[in-house]
Every structure is written in structure tokens, then in C-alpha cells.
Amino acid sequence: MRYELYYWTGIQGRGEFVRLALEDAGADYDDVAREQGDDAIVRFLDGAHDGALPFAPPFLKAGRLVIAQTATILHHLGPPLGLVPDSESRRLYANQLQLTIGDLVAEVHDSHHPIAGGLYYEDQRVEAGRRAADLRETRLPKFLDYFEQVLERGGGRHALHEHSYVDLSLFQLMAGLDYAFPRAMQRMARELPLLHALKQRIAERPRIAAYLASPRRLAFNESGIFRHYPELDDPA
Amino acid sequence: MRYELYYWTGIQGRGEFVRLALEDAGADYDDVAREQGDDAIVRFLDGAHDGALPFAPPFLKAGRLVIAQTATILHHLGPPLGLVPDSESRRLYANQLQLTIGDLVAEVHDSHHPIAGGLYYEDQRVEAGRRAADLRETRLPKFLDYFEQVLERGGGRHALHEHSYVDLSLFQLMAGLDYAFPRAMQRMARELPLLHALKQRIAERPRIAAYLASPRRLAFNESGIFRHYPELDDPA
């Protein structure tokens, strides 16, 4: 199966969670918008394809199937890519964990855009300062302590006792947070040894290491979800 | 199978999407916290149960299985409750649509809590005014036009060409929005005939009608996700 991934060019964004799964599995895929431009995405959003209608990218074309929503795509890709345990209960747990990662990702986005995604950061800086402080002091510790416990329950090295797309997504989450909030993440590091060790191990997986060193891996930047605005991090 | 639903007492919240599915199917279930108090939830969040660890309610106990995240619960319940089409592609589409409903629900929540969920509304009223205006003018039309198109593609009466938990969730979404933003919803009503007709039809399904008339259906209130603050609605 040759997959077609559709995601906006220029940022990692939510598409990166899907890209990491495809890369880790050595799957055959086209990153369509990077080849054809963002218009290829817009055609689907405008309803040019029969069947499932995506609300937003990322979405994946797998044969005739069109699948949107990051967690739904990963739920579908898990078995054929060998990136989720076989049992139904573990597949459900993987889906739940991916959704909880997605909830935190949405909160990270809103920390620099608390008023409106359509406004510039500069138009909501004051509000972003308040929201980011709450994220750093309340929400990040709550979510990250939870994921640390999940790893503990999974035997220390994995969310699900074995390698899965959830581990890849936790890598991406930690990489993004380390980029966006280096001081806050440094402050919390001692409480999160399993997450930090997981991040390191995933980065060293041969296909992931090759991907991260390739031009396919875009750098984090201030158009994406994980943005480094020093004024939104812990005070120096 | 006797299900156990865990959700905070006192509000409909995200638990209501699960409750509507259980009620519509006439499933056998305990609404545990309403019988035993919210402490029954906290025990699970503190890790008292082996296996899957919930981050937050709602979660469902189905035999030994613990499943959290609204969309994951509904994905699991769909087949045994007869609330999702059989084909894998439709099940995936249902999951995608439920997640997109969930994304809008999160945005509705943040319209009255744009800065921090842990602060009172009164401590973020000014910011809520700006965010709610963007919700009403930009985000609601975008999401609701999308769902209207989904119904159109589904033949006009259903998201998925047949009754499913997605239709029940669209009912709940419309009911909540009509409660929270009556003037804005009135303004948009002419563009959304299929959504309004769906809301009406679902309310008339015998088991849903009985549920809505029962004390089990809590009223919308200003502790929940859908809150009616007139100053956050369209100007009179």
C-alpha cells in the first residue's frame, strides 16, 4: 500500500505525528502537499472526493479510503504498520493516549493563541502571557506526570509494554515542549525521567534518526504549534 | 453486559455524549458517581485500577476493560449498541466526526475559559468576550457548515447514511449551542436546516424523549461546557 499524507507545507504541525509513524515503519508514502502545494489539500476540504469529508488536515488517503483526524489515522495505521499491540483493549488504550496527547497539543497551541487562531500572536500577547503561565504551572505538570505514570505502568520503557505509535507521539510531544519551553521543561526534568529517556531512545531508532537528519524533518518554527517565544517560558 | 459510566455529578459535560448512546440503545448501565459520589472517579484517576489509566472522566468500565476519552468510548460502544455502521471505513469516519465534534466542544469551553480552566469565569471575562466573538463569527459557522455538509453527503437525515452515535452527538452539540448562544444560533439557523431537523428528530426518538423527560437528564447550567452568558452571545 502506498499511502498519501496530506498536511500543510512549512510546519510540522499535527501531520508530524502521522509522519513519524510512517517513517518509523519504513512505509511507502507521498507527502502530497510538499510535492504539489497546499492546493492539493484544499480540493479535499472543498469536497472534491466522495465519501469521508475531512474538516482539516492531516488526512490520509489509503486506497479509496480518506481518513482525517490524527488519532483516527494512527488508529487505522497501527496494525498494518506494526505500531500497536494486537489486543483490542491495547488498541483502545493507544487511541485514548493519543487523544490525550492531542488534548495537550491543543492547549499548547492555545498558549500562544488564546483568543483566536485567525489573529496574529502579536494581537493576543498579553492574554498569551497569562495562558502560558497557567500551562507551565498547572497543565503541563498535570499532563506530563500522567504520561510519566503511563510509562511506569507500561514497564518503564513503553506506554503499552511494547513499541507503538504512542511512544513516537510522546517523543514528538517532548521534542516540541523542549523547543517551546526549555526553561520550564528543565525545571520539571527531574520528575520526568522515563519521558526523557523515551525521547532519547526514539531519536536513536535507526529510521527515526535517519528521518530527523533528513530534509523531510522540518525544524520547529514560529508558525507551528510548538513555538519558542521566550516571554512565554519560565522567567530566566 | 452491564456498563459502568464514570462522570462528574452536577453537569452534563462530555459524559453526556456517552450517556445519550447508552440511553438510545436501552443499554444496562450504572451512572456510578451519581450513585456513589465523585470520589468513585478520583480513585480511578489515582490509579487504583490495573491496566488503562484514565486522564479524566468520562471513562467507562466494561467488564475488566477501562476506556477513557469520549470518542474512544463511543468507538468501542458503537458495534455492541448497534450505533455505528458495520464497515470499517464508516467506523473510522464516525470516529473522525466524533473527534471533530469534540474539537468544537473544547472551543466552546474555552470561549468562557480562554485563560485557565482553573480560574473563575469572572477572572477572564474580558478575554472571554474577545474569544466568544471569534467563536460566534468564525469558528461556529466553519464547524456547523461542515457538519451540515456531512449530513448532506449522508443523504440529508444522517451523518453516516443510517442512525449512529454521531447523530446523537450532533443533537447534543446543537442542543448545547442553542442553550449557550441562542441569538447567534438564530442568526445562523437558515443556513443549517439539516442540523436543526436532525436535532428535532433525535429528540423525538422514544428512548431519547423518555430520557430527556427524566431526572437523569440534568439541565444545562453555568458549571458545564455549554453556558449561557448573554454577554458572550450576539448583541441583542
Q: Find cell 464516525 and name the residue.
A: B94
d(CA A29, CA A171): 21
As to burial, measured by CB atoms within 10 angstroms (0-12 exposed, 13-18 middle, 19+ buried), residue A28 is: exposed
d(CA B229, CA B129): 10
* Chain B residues touching chain A at CB-CB below 8 Å: 47, 51-55, 65, 67-69, 71-72, 75-76, 89, 92-93, 95-96, 99-100, 103, 106, 110, 114-116, 118-119, 127, 130-131, 134, 138, 143, 146, 149-150, 153
What distance lies between CA A57 and its chain's CA centroid?
Answer: 13
d(CA B60, CA B72): 10
Would you list the domain boundaries of chain B? 88-205
Look at residue A58 and give its three-state secondary structure: coil
Q: Is the pLDDT of residue A56 over 90?
A: yes
Residues A187-202 pLDDT 10s? 999 999 999 999 999 9
Residues of B in contact with A65 (CB under 8 A): 89, 92
Measured between CA atoms, the residue of chain A closest to residue B63 is A89
As to burial, measured by CB atoms within 10 angstroms (0-12 exposed, 13-18 middle, 19+ buried), residue A118 is: exposed
**A88-205 maps to CATH 3.40.50.300:** no
Q: How far is A219 from chain B (nearest CA, A)?
A: 27
Rounded to two decimals, the ipTM of the complex is 0.97
pTM recorded for the entire structure: 0.98
Q: Is the pLDDT of residue B69 over 90?
A: yes
Alpha helices in B25-156 (DSSP H): 32-36, 39-45, 70-81, 88-112, 125-134, 140-153
Q: How confident is the model over A66-82, as a mean pLDDT?
A: 98
What is the CB-side half-sphere exposure of residue B223 using CA atoms within 13 A? 7
Residues B191-212 pLDDT 10s? 999 999 999 999 999 999 999 9
Q: Which residues contact A47 (CB under 8 A, 6 or more apart)?
A: A53, B149, B153
Residues A115-157 pLDDT 10s? 999 999 999 999 999 999 999 999 999 999 999 999 999 999 9
In terms of phi and psi (left: phi > 0; alpha: psi -120 to 50; beta: otherwise), the region of B51 is left
* Of B55, B67, B96, Cβ closest to residue A52: B96
Q: Do B95 and A103 touch (CB under 8 A)?
A: no
pLDDT at A29: 98
Grid cell digits, residue B71: 470518542
